[in-house]
């Protein structure tokens, strides 16, 4: 049953006692005055459809705590302690001076209900509705895109640890698995003298290369033997945690290993692979976490947060958290989905979309072209085949005739696969040294959206393009800084939970930003002063 707020005076004694001490324009003062309007009971009524049971915490209190928790980067216990001992939190949430906080697990309980509902990000959506109702975004048709890598909440695991942990997980989650592990996973005991119930790393001579190779062979052999003994088809069909455990074991058993030298894999000899799998699971504790390369120099493990920002106000209109790798999680793919689904943009509006070079893909430009929006995206730099030589834009392309002319004046047709081969025409060409070092001559591969990208690069050289980009792009970087300040590490495991957290964090920051812009309520309406 959903709890109801007690409107008796004793619940307002904090405001009476110390309400004047709350900083004007702070989130604390705002929630103290408007939490019941911002988070009315009906907003959360679908979470408690039966209407039966013991009354819980009023939803306006939980929502206020979630906002403050996300704003300050507190754990559940820290948030409840703040509600118990901090007068600002008590005033914001309508708690009496002598009222104790609820159990921290209550926040977990509410987050689970929200996650399982049809509107898991409703707190973010409510704040966005306030943004819309103020009219602060009226007529503002620019949106800036950016992303940042957030560190995960778990430790990176090596291959040995992952294999052992995956077998243990199958043992816990799959019915009958303990007996199968005892019967089929015997190789670890042969090389280390212990089974999969032992904690810690296997006791081997880690300085001995042969011992390490034998251990890897034993673990992979045990994993494959267990997979062979399980009815994987039935387990996968049933779904749930058993299926997840089996799938993870299969993935881990294959991602980091390869046949040992001189082996084709059939003799059961394995070693750590000499290359990294492109979608490598880095921890069995959080299988969604991935390696990330935001830049060539900076490497992180975790997730990627994507944001859409209105650059004049710094308000985030859409956010999303994804894995760090995979084409479906690229900046351009996610960014295009976010900005084209932005509900704060009026239908038919001519929108300017700003972003760095990660967003200037052909697919992104094509999506914006379909909506007749203007891309203000930093183009990908063209790399010449010869240092200081000709780039792709030095070749003239006729998209109608599908012909391409090189700087020396030679024209060739573009094949159906998008390939242009100059071949023998390069022999004796006086410009060859600036064009190619290939003995077969210059070959060019153009993509589906080549002409669109070429035209975009030309527009990007215009002073007006560069002036607008320089003026409006920095705000999204500032919003990213607000988002990550004190919150570079995500608090939970998995994409879904952390995506919900990101929306709560963005909602809190948007609320704080609105207050800085003068948010108030007058005659039942939200407005900016």
- Check pLDDT > 50 for residue 190: yes
Residue 370: per-residue pLDDT:
94
Instruction: Determine what percent of the chain is predicted with pLDDT higher than 70.
Output: 94
State the chain's maximal CA–CA distance in angstroms: 94
Which two structure tokens, joined as six digits, stand for 252?
């881990």
- Check pLDDT > 60 for residue 43: yes
- Averaged pLDDT of the chain: 90
Give the predicted TM-score (pTM) of the model: 0.88
When pLDDT is cut at 50, 70 and 90, the band that residue 17 belongs to is: low
Residue 336: per-residue pLDDT:
96
User: Cα separations (Å) of 381 from 328, 357, 361?
Assistant: 23, 8, 12
Which two structure tokens, joined as six digits, stand for 269?
């000899």
Of 304, 467, 314, residue with least CA distance to 376 = 467
- Check pLDDT > 90 for residue 415: yes
CA-CA distance, 473 to 229, in Å (whole number)?
56
220-224, 264-268, 390-394, 478-482: least confident range = 264-268
Which two structure tokens, joined as six digits, stand for 246?
């089996």
310 phi and psi, to 5 degrees?
Answer: -80, 115
Question: HSE of 179 in the Cβ direction (CA atoms, 13 Å)?
Answer: 3
Of 80, 91, 98, 112, residue with least CA distance to 29 = 91
267-319: pLDDT as tens digits: 788 888 877 777 788 888 888 888 886 666 667 889 999 999 999 999 999 99
Which two structure tokens, joined as six digits, stand for 208?
């001995």
- Check pLDDT > 70 for residue 254: yes
DSSP string, 53-84: SS----HHHHHHHHHHHHHHT--HHHHHHHHH
49 phi and psi, to 5 degrees?
Answer: -65, -30
329-353: pLDDT as tens digits: 999 999 999 999 999 998 878 999 9
Please answer whether residues 328 and 350 qualify as being in contact, where contact means their C-beta atoms are separated by less than 8 angstroms.
Answer: no
CA-CA distance, 403 to 398, in Å (whole number)?
5
66-75, 298-307, 362-371: least confident range = 298-307
């Amino acid at each position: 049953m959903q709890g109801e707020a007690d409107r008796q005076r004793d619940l307002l004694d904090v405001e009476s006692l110390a309400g004047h001490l709350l900083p004007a324009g702070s989130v604390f003062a705002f929630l103290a005055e408007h939490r019941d309007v911002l988070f009315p009971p009906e907003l959360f009524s679908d979470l408690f459809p039966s209407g039966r049971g013991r009354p819980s915490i009023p939803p306006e209190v939980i929502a206020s705590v979630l906002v403050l928790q996300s704003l300050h980067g507190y754990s559940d216990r820290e948030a409840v302690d703040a509600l118990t001992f901090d007068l600002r939190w008590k005033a914001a949430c309508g708690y009496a001076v002598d009222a104790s906080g609820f159990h921290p697990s209550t926040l977990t309980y509410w987050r689970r209900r929200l996650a399982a509902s049809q509107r898991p990000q409703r707190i973010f959506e409510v704040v966005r509705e306030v943004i819309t109702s103020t009219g602060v975004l009226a007529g503002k048709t620019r949106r800036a895109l950016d992303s940042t890598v957030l560190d995960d909440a778990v430790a990176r695991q090596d291959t040995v640890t992952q294999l052992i942990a995956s077998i243990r997980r199958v043992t816990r989650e799959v019915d009958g698995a303990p007996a199968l592990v005892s019967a089929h996973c015997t190789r670890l005991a042969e090389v280390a003298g212990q089974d999969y119930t032992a904690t810690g790393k296997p006791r081997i001579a880690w300085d001995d290369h042969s011992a390490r190779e034998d251990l890897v062979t034993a673990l992979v052999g045990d994993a494959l033997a267990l997979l062979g003994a399980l009815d994987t088809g039935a387990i996968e069909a049933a779904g749930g945690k058993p299926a997840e455990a089996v799938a993870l074991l299969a993935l881990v058993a294959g991602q980091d290993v390869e046949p040992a030298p001189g082996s084709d894999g059939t003799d059961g000899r394995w070693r750590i692979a000499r290359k990294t799998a492109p979608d490598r699971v880095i921890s069995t504790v959080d299988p969604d976490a991935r390696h990330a390369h935001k830049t060539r120099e900076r490497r992180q493990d975790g997730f990627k947060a994507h944001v859409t920002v209105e650059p004049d106000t710094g308000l985030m209109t859409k956010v999303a958290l994804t894995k760090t790798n995979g084409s479906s999680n690229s900046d351009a793919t996610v960014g295009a989905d976010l900005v084209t689904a932005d509900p704060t943009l009026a239908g038919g509006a001519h929108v300017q979309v700003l972003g760095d070079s990660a967003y200037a893909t052909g697919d992104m430009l094509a999506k914006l072209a379909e909506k007749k929006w203007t891309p203000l995206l930093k183009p990908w730099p063209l790399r010449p085949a010869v240092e200081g030589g000709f780039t792709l834009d030095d070749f003239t392309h006729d998209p109608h005739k599908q012909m391409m002319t090189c700087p020396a004046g030679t024209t060739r047709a573009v094949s159906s696969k998008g390939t242009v081969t100059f071949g023998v025409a390069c022999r004796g060409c006086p410009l060859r040294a600036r064009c190619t070092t290939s003995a077969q001559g210059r070959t060019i591969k153009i993509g589906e959206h080549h002409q669109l990208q070429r035209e975009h690069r030309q527009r990007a050289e215009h002073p007006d393009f560069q002036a607008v980009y320089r003026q409006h792009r920095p705000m999204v970087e500032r919003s990213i800084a607000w988002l990550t300040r004190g919150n570079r590490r995500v608090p939970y495991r998995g994409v879904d939970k952390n995506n919900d957290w990101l929306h709560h964090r963005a909602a809190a920051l948007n609320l704080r930003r609105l207050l800085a812009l003068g948010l108030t309520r007058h005659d039942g309406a939200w407005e900016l002063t």
